[in-house]
Structure 1
Amino acid sequence: MTDPLYMLADVGGTNTRVALSHGGTVLPDTIRRYRNRDFANLAPVLRQFRTDQGGPSPEGACVCVAGPVANGVGELTNLDWSIDATRLAEATGATTCAILNDLQAQGHAIGRLSDDACQVVMETPEGAQGARLVIGVGTGFNAAPVHDTAGGRFVPPCEAGHANLPINSEAELRLCNFVSTAHGFPAVEDVLSGRGLEQVYRWLSHEAGSSDEFLAAEIMARIDSDPRARAAVQQFIRMMGTVAGNLALIHLPLGGVYLVGGVARAMAPYMSEMGFAEAFRSKGRFSGFMGNFGVSLVVDDYAALTGCASYLSEQKALTG
């Protein structure tokens, strides 16, 4: 029996990636990327993909969005787009439709990616198993636990990026006050995101009595020539370690923590030297316990598409 044809979409704050799969296997040659600013909403993107790709209508369609999903409706946090099952079916021609949060899709991909899709950040203890945790750092920030149960994989939706930033020093208190001026609340995403890195650099400039500022990509490019850029990246990485460690204690992912997202990948070369592991494990009398959690970086930029395909395949297997 031929695996069913699925249509998949990973909707980020800037771009949307669309592809086809046969069952849980994404077809690499079908992956296309569309700039969100060129479209009024997601439905026209999906219709454009069908025009570009051609071929029969898919049996199932699954999209994941960078924002909350409630009552079958996905809303993007950083873009005025929404999608529901009815519009998804109309745009794709699929009879089975699903809408996931982007971190839910990443969670469904874990363990179903190629061997070279992950890089070790902190070693996982030998024989470790149990729940896992996916943490996304990109245009925004989010996290989602991953539980394998007798009834299939369960990845609940979360909005962890909108929790309060942790404060461990007077300097971090000043950072929190600086980033909270926009809307009166210092959220994790205000620092741990692409725009967050820009905020950290602006804060360091403000501390030095300067008004210098740069885009996130420019800050990363200046890391070897600009001490302030290096300091911004170090502050970012240590905050990322602290928040990831907090989330590990909340969810107890003994099966491993997985970092995903473009900003997390950009930070990878500097995590070791700039104290990610130390900040992750700095939990007072629980610091030793933190050694139970391994941390990996997902380097597959299309992992969410694999997660969407895996979700549809699992639902089909469960429902017959």
Structure 2
Amino acid sequence: MTLLLAGDIGGTKTILRLVETSDSPSSDPIYQESFHSGDFPDLVPIVQKFLVKANTSLPQKACFAIAGPIVKNTAKLTNLAWFLDTERLEQELGIPQISLINDFAAVGYGILGLQKQDLLTLQVGKSQPEAPIAIIGAGTGLGQGFLIKQGNYYQVFSSEGGHTDFAPRNEIEFQLLKYLLNKHDIQRISVERVVSGMGIVSIYQFLRDRKIAHESPDIAQIVRTWEQQAGQEEKIDAGAVIGTAALEKRDRLCEQTLQLFIEAYGAEAGNLALKLLPYGGLYVAGGIAPKILPLMQDSSFLLNFTQKGRMRRLLEEIPVYIILNPQVGLIGAALRAAGL
């Protein structure tokens, strides 16, 4: 048996998990713990503390999923003054083999370890086992990636597709684009500025400022507090508050916000699907979709996913799933570590 260390490394939180190769990567870990990343100067002391608390032998292999690009086995975290290098990590931790991968690449590997109960089917489609698999996931940002079958294995690719241009399709989306350009005084708007947690708040602000619907006092106070905390590390999650209010149908402005968000989300998922034709499945990852499942299951996501003119019939044959397991990235990091 080989002891593996898997990690999900973010600017706010670092989650570490120990598993054995004899176990299913999605089974209960030997030990798992979460740490506040900002309390440590580097990843090394977190791992050292974790291994002491785990009270086990040193792992033979490790894989860490990083929220950002990996360049020549190195990674610089966006929200932390951490610079990670696999060679340095191997030397300082005494782990013979360490890999750094993009967090969405980890989700890609994780898909291969999911069980039936970890998925909700939005569209059955007509699955083709040899075809590409696509991943899209709105959370703090908007991640995108894909898998290509290579013999008996899949090769996993991350991308920066969330930073492509937001493409408005109707009058209200054109107004949203103009609003965001003026608000931020910039030359372009990425799709991530609309389809993400911050995008939910941006859509709310747009609809509020255009007085498209009445703003309730309790939500207004939360959003105002969020706006005043701009640039601070610890902030109210206004996007989650807006999503919950929409889900509970207790605030019309929040409901309209989520409607526009889900329409844009479905449209961007359809754009990704047109580029890859992922008849192996399109998987919706990220932290937002599982929290608003009833709204995602509403027809608007799939309607905008398939609303691509003459290409509609092609997209109606692509299986679409929502990933329900929040540990998919850790599962993927463990699978990648096992393959080192």
TM-score between the two structures when normalised by the length of structure 1: 0.90
**Is 2:314 the counterpart of 1:289?**
yes
- Distance change (3 Å), C-alpha of 1:128 and 1:153: closer
**Cα 1:160–1:203 shift into 2, 3 Å:** same
SS at 1:70's partner residue?
Answer: coil
Return the alpha-carbon distance in structure 2 between the equivalents of residues 119 and 309 of structure 1.
23
Q: Distance in 2 between matches of 1:48 and 1:178?
A: 47
Task: Tell me the amino acid that sits aligned with residue 102 of structure 1.
Answer: D
Q: CA deviation at 1:13?
A: 4.1
The corresponding residue for 1:168 is 169
Deviations along 1:241-291, whole A, 9 cap, x unmatched?
000000011111110001111112223220132500000000011111111
CA deviation digits over 1:279-308, x for unaligned, max 9?
Answer: 000001111111121110111111111111
* 1:34 partner SS: strand
Are residues 1:9 and 2:7 paired?
yes
| Pairs within 5 Å for 1:1-320 | 2=1, 4-23=2-21, 25-26=24-25, 27-90=28-91, 92-125=93-126, 129-150=130-151, 152-180=153-181, 181-182=183-184, 184=186, 185-208=188-211, 212=220, 214=223, 215-223=238-246, 224-273=249-298, 275-315=300-340
Identity %: 27
| Pairs aligned (count) | 313
Task: Go from structure 1 to structure 2 and tell me whether the alpha carbon gap of 1:50 and 1:183 turns closer, same or farther (over 3 Å shift).
Answer: farther
Q: Alpha-carbon deviation of 1:75?
A: 3.1
- Which amino acid is the alignment partner of residue 242 of structure 2? I
Q: Secondary structure, in 3 states, of the residue corresponding to 1:20?
A: strand
Q: 2:128 touches 2:279 (CA, 8 Å); kept in 1?
A: no
Measured in 1, the distance between the counterparts of 2:279 and 2:76 equals 31
Give the C-alpha shift of residue 9 in structure 1: 0.4
Q: Aligned equivalents of 1:307 and 1:183: distance in 2?
A: 39
Q: Which residue of 1 aligns with 2:227?
A: none
Residues 1:264 and 1:87: Cα distance change in structure 2 (over 3 Å)? farther
Q: TM-score if structure 2 supplies the norm length?
A: 0.85
Contact 2:61 2:338 in 1 (8 A): no
The 8 Å contact of residues 118 and 298 in structure 1, kept in 2 or not, is answered as yes
Q: Which moved more, 1:243-252 or 1:173-182?
A: 173-182
Distance 1:206 1:89 in 2: 52
User: Residues of 2 paired with 1:91 and 1:7: CA distance?
Assistant: 15
**Structure 1 residue runs of 4 or more that deviate by more than 6 Å after TM superposition:** none
- CA distance change for structure 1 residues 140 and 43 in 2, over 3 Å: closer, same or farther? farther
Inter-CA distance 280–18: structure 2 relative to 1 (3 Å threshold): same
Contact 2:127 2:319 in 1 (8 A): no
TM-superposed CA distance for 1:29, in Å, is 4.5
* 32 and 70 in structure 1: CA distance in 2 versus 1, 3 angstrom threshold: same
Separation of aligned partners in 2, 1:220 and 1:226: 10
Can you list the C-alpha shifts for 1:11-38, whole angstroms capped at 9, x where unaligned?
2343221101112734435121122233
In the TM superposition, what is the alpha-carbon distance from 1:126 to its structure 2 partner?
5.3
Structure 2 unmatched ranges of 5 or more: 224-237
CA distance in 2, matches of 1:105, 1:158: 12
User: 2:9, 2:15 within 8 Å by CA — same for their partners in 1?
Assistant: yes
* Aligned-residue offset at 1:148: 2.1
Q: 1:51 to 1:183 in 2, by over 3 A?
A: farther
Distance in 2 between the 1:234 and 1:134 partners? 22
For structure 1, the residue ranges without an aligned partner over 5 or more in a row are 316-320
Q: Which residue of 2 aligns with 1:318?
A: none
SS in 2 for 1:287: helix
> Could you say which residue in structure 1 is the equivalent of 2:233?
none
Deviation at 1:192, TM superposition (A): 1.4
C-alpha change, 1:189 and 1:76, in structure 2 (3 Å) is farther
